[in-house]
Amino acid sequence: MAGSRITVRVGERQLTLSNLEKVLYPRHGFTKGEVLDYYTRIAPLLLPHIRDRAMTFVRFPDGVAGGSFFEKDVSRHAPDWVRTARLTVGGRGKEPEIIAYPLINDLPELVWAANLAALELHVHQWTVEDGDERSTPDRLVFDLDPGPGATVVDCCRVAERLYDVLAADGLTPVAKTSGSKGMQLYAGVVTTDGGETSQYAKALAERLAAETPDLVVARMTKTLRPGKVFIDWSQNNPFKTTVAPYSLRGRDEPTVSTPVTWDEVRACRHVSHLRFTADEVLGRVDDLGDLFAELDRTRVPIPAFG
């Protein structure tokens, strides 16, 4: 039997939404309709942070228990009003190919993505300008990934150290949870060199790993990571994406990649302290506003390093 379908007007667009009663998070009973409601309500905060950024979806058409797949190219099924950026990717032995990445810039486009069960939204650290041209990065990111035996609490201790170094270098770090096990630190930057953010992040990660080898690792080698926090500096690679702030995650429950205060980071002593569901995030933003907004107001050149 075909699933239910309704036609709605979102802004200036007419969309057909399907299977709103379908449970996408079985453990929590969270339905596709609730996913659409969350993304509609969080849109005023989310959209400025993903605007003009080539996006990769992680789709869960049968819910989080039914498997997922990454989708970059939407050229075969996107409505003609969904903006895309046709970007050439390839290299390292791969044939170059053109991919039509979606640009989720307004509420109709966001609702369209959510209706695809694109629970997770991942974006690059650069924007698209002049049609299909990449700009240089405007974000520096450190992805803190706890190895086996470590948790987000350990990530917070590493984040505190990163905060001190970044602040001393004149940057303004902003923190968010990953919505999964770890967290990310960002800083707004200005650069004309697409590789500069990776170089700076790698140097800083290796410095912290050398200073505290019992807590920090800067190499991806899995055998090095038990009980430690991997500072993944490689997320600054122009071809890599990181989960967007306020994006849902495809976990057992509808957790969200949530911007947090530095007081919350410093006070964290249990994994539950930095774990937020969609409903909790909607309440937080009513009280705290957009904690990620500072990123766009504090861009500075990347400091000298080496």
Where along the chain do its domains lie?
Answer: 5-132, 139-301
Residues 139-301, CATH architecture: 2-Layer Sandwich (3.30)
Given this chain, do its domains 5-132 and 139-301 carry the same CATH topology?
no
Helix, strand, coil shares of the chain as percentages rounded to 5? 30, 30, 40
pLDDT digits (tens, 9 = 90+) for 66-104: 999 999 999 999 999 999 999 988 766 678 889 999 999
pLDDT at 5 over 70: yes
- Give the chain's mean pLDDT: 95
Number of other CB atoms surrounding residue 191 within 10 Å? 16
Each residue of 31-50: pLDDT tens digit? Answer: 999 999 999 999 999 999 99
For the cut 80, the answer to whether the pLDDT of residue 143 exceeds it is: yes
CATH number of the domain located at residue range(s) 5-132 in this protein: 3.90.920.10
Residue position matching structure tokens 């498997």 = 67
Q: Is 217 left (phi over 0), alpha (psi -120 to 50) or beta?
A: beta
pTM reported for the whole predicted model: 0.95
The answer to whether residues 256 and 246 touch, using CB atoms and an 8 Å cutoff, is: yes
